[in-house]
Amino acid sequence: MKILTLISGGVDSTTLAYFLKSGGNYQEGVIFTYGQRHIKEKQFAETQGSLLGIKTTIIPIVLPVKSALKGSSEIPDGHYTDASMKQTVVPGRNSIFLSIAYAMAVSLRFDAIAIAVHAGDHTIYPDCRPKYIGIMESALQLGTDTEIKILAPFVYLPKRSIVNTGKTLGVDYSKTWSCYKGGEFHCGKCGTCTERIEAFSQAGVKDPTIYKEVK
Amino acid sequence: MKILTLISGGVDSTTLAYFLKSGGNYQEGVIFTYGQRHIKEKQFAETQGSLLGIKTTIIPIVLPVKSALKGSSEIPDGHYTDASMKQTVVPGRNSIFLSIAYAMAVSLRFDAIAIAVHAGDHTIYPDCRPKYIGIMESALQLGTDTEIKILAPFVYLPKRSIVNTGKTLGVDYSKTWSCYKGGEFHCGKCGTCTERIEAFSQAGVKDPTIYKEVK
């Protein structure tokens, strides 16, 4: 299968790319920037692309919407599923990412695009839920008269299972980035840092991440 | 209603913007560029935005896909519904436009986004068909947990009816652009020029367009 994978430099999409590679698929990566408050994600996505030996394409998106991830407000500390994390929603982000990736897949004759949404995303991020992914796939297929698939193999998995999968596949998690704040080290207190810490802990996998402080 | 309308500077979206204005709605326009072979559309979209007295936002999209509209091949001459016109498809274009417009609508609290797809588009462009628009609306609503509408009031109308509507509403069609080639004047021979000529003729409305030559 020829697959175009959305990679962000984080734990989930990095593991997804290794998982798909292990299945013997031809793979390329697409990296989206959309005015995030830092470029750490992009840098780590490129690093992981190199480690995987796959071609990556960077697509900058102009997106005039408000989100804490774009600097419209402070990044909230707390748990990944806290209501305060709604400030970190970029509305419809995955619709934009999937639409552009799908268009590339049609033009470049890929069989599928792949996205690393997982069960832990469902509470706060509606564009990570299974029903959304299914209907978006139908819409994109209808809109292009094609049958390219949207693969989301982790959509029902908790993050700890992703970490276990990646450990087996030899992912170097020290070269992935989660923190919303984008400092020199992971802050250890924002929603995605607490989720990362919890996932390694629950998976029983040694966390190679350096945290500025742990909540 | 607060509506964000996709405007391109052509007959259909210009008429749509006048149509929605006539309904007493608050309206803004969004203009997308995606590496088209000419900037005539953008210029006329801005002109129409000024004539309407509405705020317009220009969003450049980086889109690495092949299409005659992006210069990957020559623009074919012929009728708008000829099979050769498939070269002018930009795969999934409306999915990308609608996703970005929808994200803006969520963030800026619009009630609806509006798009000027019409019946004549259905043959060649799958992302202009009613079923696609309906499913895309569902996907975007699910992906954002909102109920913003996608308005497509012309989706079952032939282009001649759009011209009749615009004539009634006082649209100045001399300040709209259709031609795919983007020369000094409309070429009169490409698919969208032949469609434009036919629409005015069938509507019984005087066509103010200067054509280089008429097929």
pLDDT tens sequence across A161-205: 999 999 999 999 999 999 999 899 999 999 999 999 999 999 999
Which distant-in-sequence residues (6+ apart) come within 8 Å of A53 by Cβ?
none
Select from B100, B103, B131 the Cβ nearest to the Cβ of A142.
B131
Q: Please, are residues B144 and B151 in contact by the beta-carbon 8 Å criterion?
A: no
ipTM of the predicted structure? Answer: 0.94
- Give the separation between CA B39 and CA B60, rounded to whole angstroms: 12
Whether residue B104 lies within 8 A of chain A, CB to CB, comes out as: yes
pLDDT of the residue at A132: 98
Residue matched to tokens 């092949």: B66
Task: Report the pLDDT averaged over residues B154-174.
Answer: 98
Q: Residue B146 to residues A127, B22, B110: CA-CA distances in angstroms? A: 11, 26, 11
pLDDT of the residue at B80: 85
Select from A60, A64, A136 the Cβ nearest to the Cβ of B104.
A64
pLDDT of the residue at A215: 57
pLDDT above 90 for B213:
no
Q: What is the dihedral of CA B169, B162, B37, A142, to 10 degrees?
A: 130
pLDDT of the residue at B60: 95
- For chain A, list residues with pLDDT below 70: 214-215
- The number of CA neighbours under 13 Å toward the Cβ of A197 is 19
pLDDT of the residue at B72: 87
pLDDT above 80 for B214:
no
Whether residue A107 lies within 8 A of chain B, CB to CB, comes out as: yes
| Averaged confidence pLDDT in chain A | 95
Find the DSSP H helices in B108-144: 130-144
Is A143's CB within 8 Å of B126's CB? Answer: yes
Task: Report the pLDDT averaged over residues B194-214.
Answer: 95
Residue of B nearest to A106 (CA): B91
- Helices A93-107 and B130-144 cross at an angle (nearest 10°) of 140
Is B103's CB within 8 Å of A92's CB? Answer: yes
Nearest CA-CA partner of B20 in B58, B52, B45, B42: B52
Is B91's CB within 8 Å of A106's CB? Answer: yes
Identify the residue among A140, A150, A155 best suited for mutation to test binding to B, counting B beta carbons within 10 A and taking the highest: A140
Residue matched to tokens 């011209």: B163
Q: How far is B193 from chain A (nearest CA, A)?
A: 24
Whether residue A210 lies within 8 A of chain B, CB to CB, comes out as: no
| Averaged confidence pLDDT in chain B | 95
From start to end of chain B, where are the E strands?
A: 2-6, 26-33, 56-60, 112-114, 149-151
CB within 8 Å of chain A, chain B residues 33-52: none
Total residues found in chain A within this entry: 215
pLDDT above 90 for B215:
no
pLDDT above 70 for B143:
yes
- Give the separation between CA B104 and CA B90, rounded to whole angstroms: 22
Q: How far is A207 from chain B (nearest CA, A)?
A: 32
Question: What tokens were used for B111?
Answer: 């009630």
pLDDT of the residue at B37: 84
- Give the separation between CA A198 and CA A181, rounded to whole angstroms: 18
* Chain segment B63-92, per-residue pLDDT in tens: 989 899 888 889 999 998 898 889 999 999
Task: Report the pLDDT averaged over residues B119-141.
Answer: 96
- Give the separation between CA B134 and CA B130, rounded to whole angstroms: 6
pLDDT of the residue at B156: 98
